[in-house]
Amino acid sequence: MFGLLNKRKAKAIDQVEEQLKRYKDTEGLSTQRLNFGLWYFRHRKNFFLTIVGVLSVLAAALFIYSLYYFGDYLLRGMTSQQQSVSGLVEDVTLRGTRLDQNSVRPRFIKLISLANGNYDLIGTLTNANTGYWLDFNYYFVVDGQSLDVHAGFVLPQEQHYLLSLNQTLTNQPNSVELIIDNWSWHRLDSHQIPDWSTYKEQYLNFVIQDKKFLGYEDSGLTENLKMASLSFNIVNQTPYSYYEAPLNIIIYQNSEVVSVAQYVIDKFASREKRTIEISLLSDIDEATRIEILPDINIFNQEMTAPLDIVN
């Protein structure tokens, strides 16, 4: 009988526990969640300490990692970086030196005797570069004596004449040297100047027409001095006006330079045509070729003027 009662009691307890497990209050909170909450409440301190410990270990590891690589940078990285920067500077310097030595070729052409111990000296400077132009000072040294210093320039892919006119020398020269000094490279901006030939043409499109040269016997200028004459028309076909438009004039007999001159056109407006007449102190009687070249540094914005400059 007692065994039967114990079985019934045990069954009743199991039923109650099962009902408790499945119990859910009106707000939806089950006994399983109550048990988890009770467990968390009892062990929350240990749970918090565990999280703090894990985060501390992680922070310490990151700190040691950062400290190691920062120390490595101080010991080796800064030296390596300085060497890289030094190498870059040396490369730029070498490039500049390479440009100076290989891309620019100065050459003395001729010394022309005028009268009364005066001479014209002619040289050229060739810039084979496509992306750089150069400004500089130049002068001629005659028998160890330095003559006047002039400012010069040479544009990309250009041979530019360097003139020193009407120089007085005490003796007949034996040696002449052309000196290029204080030069400075300037790199073209490929964004502003994608096509150098087109850009140059926009500024230096001067059309020379009706060239006429008269030797000293035909010019009739003077009987005391041998004077030749040159006349020509020049048209400014560019969209720019110029306060001054200097010209270099080179006169040849066959392949030899026999006379040179410089002429400056004052206030030369866009689309304007001028007639130029020049007297030359020269005893030549004919010219087989005449070069008339603008001596304008188009990167000097002070040269250009408003379109209505002549008004």
| Residue pair 226/283 in contact by the 8 Å Cβ criterion | yes
The whole domain housing 155 covers 104-188
Q: Is residue 193 part of a domain?
A: no
**Assigned domain for 194 exists:** no
Eight-class DSSP state of 170: S
* Inter-residue contact 106 to 159 (CB < 8 Å): no
From first to last of the 311 residues of the chain, give the pLDDT tens digit.
545 545 665 565 566 556 555 555 555 555 555 565 565 556 666 667 777 777 788 887 787 877 776 666 566 554 444 343 333 333 333 234 344 456 778 888 899 988 788 899 999 999 988 889 999 999 999 999 999 999 999 999 999 999 999 999 988 888 999 999 998 999 999 899 999 999 999 999 999 999 999 987 765 555 667 788 999 999 999 999 999 999 999 999 999 999 999 999 999 999 999 999 999 888 888 899 999 999 999 999 888 887 666 55
Query: Is 22 a member of any domain?
Result: yes
Give the Å distances, CA to CA, from 36 to 18, 52, 95, 289: 18, 21, 76, 108
Q: Report which DSSP code applies to 209.
A: E
In this structure, the strands spanning 118-127 and 104-113 are antiparallel
Q: Residues with Cβ < 8 Å from 119, sequence gap 6 or more?
A: 111, 112, 113, 166, 167, 168, 169, 173
Predicted confidence at residue 232, as pLDDT, reads 98
Distance CA 287, CA 127 (A): 28
Question: How many domains, the chain?
Answer: 3
Taking a C-beta distance cutoff of 8 angstroms, is the pair 128, 76 a contact?
no
Q: Output the pLDDT for position 43.
A: 63
Q: Looking at the structure, do residues 155 and 172 belong to the same domain, yes or no?
A: yes
Do 184 and 220 share a structural domain? no
Distance, in Å, from the CA atom of 244 to the CA atom of 240, rounded to the nearest integer, reads: 12
